[in-house]
Amino acid sequence: MLSLSRSLLLAAGLLAAAMARADEIQVAVAANFAGPIQQIASGFERSSGHRLRITTGATGKFYAQIRSGAPFEVLLAADDSTPARLEAEGAAVPGTRFTYAVGKLALWSSKPGLVDDKGEVLRTGSFSHLALANPKLAPYGAAALETLSALGLAERLRPRMVMGENIAQTYQFVATGNAELGFVALSQIQENGVLKGGSAWLVPAQLHAPIRQDAVLLAKGKDRPAALALLAYLKSDAARAVIAAAGYGL
């Protein structure tokens, strides 16, 4: 049998080896995915030993930051066009891009009963402010504007629109009552298929282009073990279960 001292030395050596293999990366994550990524990160870090430094924000802003040299190794975007553009421009690794979630858009109010299940409140309701994310920066904002255009309401409601920089700020506008209603990600307002409060209309998918959310390995992460491991983990059953429970399509 090993002596106690030799056992401790062996354990310390194994721990040091594991720590040497552990990696830490910076991940840019679309604001709508802020909740799920925390759960996914927890499982990923437990299973891999790697660590994630997560920054959430608007996909459009991330694009500009990455092109300006921001030290992100992985991007989880709110669309599929930004990762494709980064790949075409040499800022992302070809062949690593894939759809990790399909977003769903909802019209939501923190007030119960204000939003009906067909969205007729947009035509008939009495409200002063309608919140949506900046469509130039946030894919969910672009989907919201596309929805309003499909309904023939974009110009009529434009004077009442208030723009959030990203979908997280848009949610805050509605949650605090600064806007009576707004377009948000379904994942922000439901948990395991149950609305967390207020009233909502799930926007029919045919009213806007699909919100395919792609992940991609950025050029700065091509030699980082944790970056490759995270992309693989996003395809795992454990991660997909979290994504589905949060209200995304797969």
**Residue 151 belongs to a domain with what CATH number?**
3.40.190.10
Instruction: Say yes or no: 82 and 41 in one domain.
Output: yes
pLDDT(221) > 70: yes
Considering only CA atoms, which of 228, 6, 215 is closest in space to residue 102? 215
Instruction: Say yes or no: 97 and 221 in one domain.
Output: yes
Instruction: Say yes or no: 112 and 96 in one domain.
Output: no
Flag whether 230 is in a domain: yes
pLDDT at residue 14, rounded to an integer: 38
Flag whether 71 is in a domain: yes
Instruction: Say yes or no: 127 and 61 in one domain.
Output: no
Q: How many domains does the chain have?
A: 2
pLDDT at residue 21, rounded to an integer: 65
Instruction: Say yes or no: 184 and 195 in one domain.
Output: yes
The domain containing residue 13 runs over which residues?
Answer: 4-102+211-245
Segment 225-240 mean pLDDT: 97
Instruction: Say yes or no: 161 and 219 in one domain.
Output: no
Percent of the chain with pLDDT over 70: 92
Flag whether 250 is in a domain: no
pLDDT(91) > 50: yes
Predicted structure pTM score: 0.81
Q: Sorting pLDDT into bands at 50, 70 and 90, what band is 12?
A: very low
pLDDT at residue 137, rounded to an integer: 86
Instruction: Say yes or no: 27 and 112 in one domain.
Output: no
Report yes or no: 188 and 103 within 8 Å, Cβ to Cβ. no
Element spanning 212, H or E: strand 211-217
Residue 177's Cβ-count burial label (10 Å; 0-12, 13-18, 19+) is exposed
* SS3 state of residue 133: strand
Q: Say how far apart CA 130 and CA 123 lie, in whole Å.
A: 12
Q: Say how far apart CA 76 and CA 97 lie, in whole Å.
A: 10
Instruction: Say yes or no: 85 and 51 in one domain.
Output: yes
Element spanning 24, H or E: strand 24-30
Q: Say how far apart CA 147 and CA 124 lie, in whole Å.
A: 17
pLDDT at residue 191, rounded to an integer: 81
